[in-house]
Amino acid sequence: MPILPLDSGRYGSKEIREIFDDNRKLDYQLKFEAEVAKAQGELGVIPENASKEIADVANSNRVTLKRIKELELISEHDTAAFVESIAEECPDTAKPWVHYGLTSSDIVDTSTSLQLKDSLTIIENKLLRLARVLSERALQFKDLPAVGRTHGQHASVIAFGLKFAVWASEIVRHLERIDEGKKRFLVCKTLGVVGTGSVMGKRALDVQRIVAERLGLFPVDSATQVVPRERYAEAQFFLALVGATLDRMAVEIRNLQRTEIGEVSEHFKRGQMGSSAVPVKRNPIKSERVSSLSRLLRALVSVAMENVSLWHERDLSNSANERFTIPMTVILLDEMLNLMVNVITNLEIHNEKIASNLKMTNGQIHAEFVLDLLLKKGIPRFDAYRDIQRVAFSAIENKQSFFDAIQNDSELGKRLTSEELTDIFEPSKHLSASTTIIQNIAKMVHDAQLKYAEPF
């Protein structure tokens, strides 16, 4: 019976959840044992015939979850039960060499790296898809003037497409971080009980190098019984950082969908219900779900940080929680990416509302450009600043347009002509470098597609 939402399949795609399924986990562990045995046989660490027999068993379907569970009831040790289930299927000549020189954590940590490796392939492809959708939206609205807000207040004019471009550039940076970090957290360990190579002696590092290469991982440079947990903490931090960007996007969309702003809306399909009580509601539920899951994602980083400080060469204080934190981090981020790709792809942009919001302050959104023109006429900055502020505050009190207030002011009216003000009060003239920035980000996204795209 499903207990957690992850168990019921509510969150995450089928392909990402399957990576953490017990059967897939067993496949990773068997692949690891097979590659270790083969490498040990090739290097003469164990008899070559034994290595082939062990690899044959590991690559067959004879080791089952059912039998492992039966053995675990006796040993109360899941990895020991796994190793014993392999040994049961091996001929007597091979039994002594099963799991030779290894410790349980070699299997567990390397299998975790394999899970992360396959997960990141999926995550990276979805990040690329999101970056592409954001770039397309940025280009679509690169010439649309909109309100730029700071502190929740109207500040100046931006291109509406710039919002999407800024997000797209963040996504590309996340791809760079993940790719650069792989050599630190996608690692293979075969160094035994306390990280010395144990009974494999001088050939231990050669075994590890060969196994890592065949599994598409990086050999750990040093370890105790376990891979140092700062590696996993980094991976979880990087993934939570992606989630923070998705949350940032979600919060902006939620704010822009407020009734009072109304510049965007999440797509509302036929038959969808926004509220069980209020029929007219169209709530930004997908963006809200992204924000909700991002909070949990960030909280999991704290647990990963706590796991770094283990006792001596290891203890088990990390073991139980990592069965939750690593799968949850990946699956929740996958869900968030699916949601945000859907939201951005189908986001409804209300151009008329964007235009009307620009007029909400009766022209005061153009104050920055009035100040700039006065500076260019040689007026000292703070003299110009105080005059503009005085006129603007008076215009609000008198419910007067900023344009008229400037023209009728004894100081500003004589310094600025009607033609100059008309030019300043045209929003489309104030997109400045927005178009170039958006085009630069579009190229950045295109280059990232070429660099990071992998089939999955």
Q: Is residue 302 part of a domain?
A: yes
Q: Is 151 marked active-site?
A: yes
Indicate the pLDDT class of residue 304, thresholds 50, 70 and 90.
very high
Q: Considering 341, 357, 373, which residue would you say is the last residue of a domain?
A: 357
Instruction: Count CA within 13 A, CB hemisphere, residue 63.
Output: 31
In a shared domain, residues 231 and 184: yes
Q: Is residue 329 part of a domain?
A: yes
| Count of domains forming the chain | 3
In a shared domain, residues 43 and 145: no
Instruction: Count CA within 13 A, CB hemisphere, residue 317.
Output: 14
Separation CA 21–CA 28 (nearest Å): 11
Q: What is the pLDDT of residue 158?
A: 97
Q: Is 275 marked active-site?
A: yes
Q: What percent of the chain has pLDDT over 70?
A: 96
Residue 253 token pair: 């969309």
End-to-end CA distance of the chain: 31
Residue 446 token pair: 């295109």
Contact 430, 145 (CB under 8 A): yes
Separation CA 308–CA 314 (nearest Å): 10
**Residue 47 is part of a domain; what is its CATH number?**
1.10.275.10
In a shared domain, residues 235 and 266: yes
Residue 445 token pair: 């996204």
In a shared domain, residues 22 and 142: no
Separation CA 174–CA 321 (nearest Å): 26
The DSSP letter of residue 94 is T
Separation CA 386–CA 177 (nearest Å): 46
What residue type is assigned to position 7 of the chain?
A: D
Name the 3-class secondary structure at 265: strand
Catalytic hit among 8, 75, 275, 432: 275
Lowest-pLDDT range of 159-168, 267-276, 382-391: 267-276
Show Cβ contacts of residue 174 under 8 Å, excluding neighbours closer than 6 positions. Answer: 127, 238, 241, 242, 245
- What is the residue-averaged pLDDT of the chain? 95
pLDDT in tens, 12-58: 999 999 999 999 999 999 999 999 999 999 999 999 999 999 999 99
In a shared domain, residues 250 and 378: no
Indicate the pLDDT class of residue 456, thresholds 50, 70 and 90.
very low
In a shared domain, residues 28 and 111: no
Catalytic hit among 151, 222, 276, 410: 151
In a shared domain, residues 229 and 89: no
Q: Bridge-partner residues for 154, per DSSP?
A: 149
Residue 76 token pair: 């109360």
Range of the domain at 176: 104-190+224-357
E-assigned strand segments in 103-248: 145-150, 153-159, 187-188, 218-219
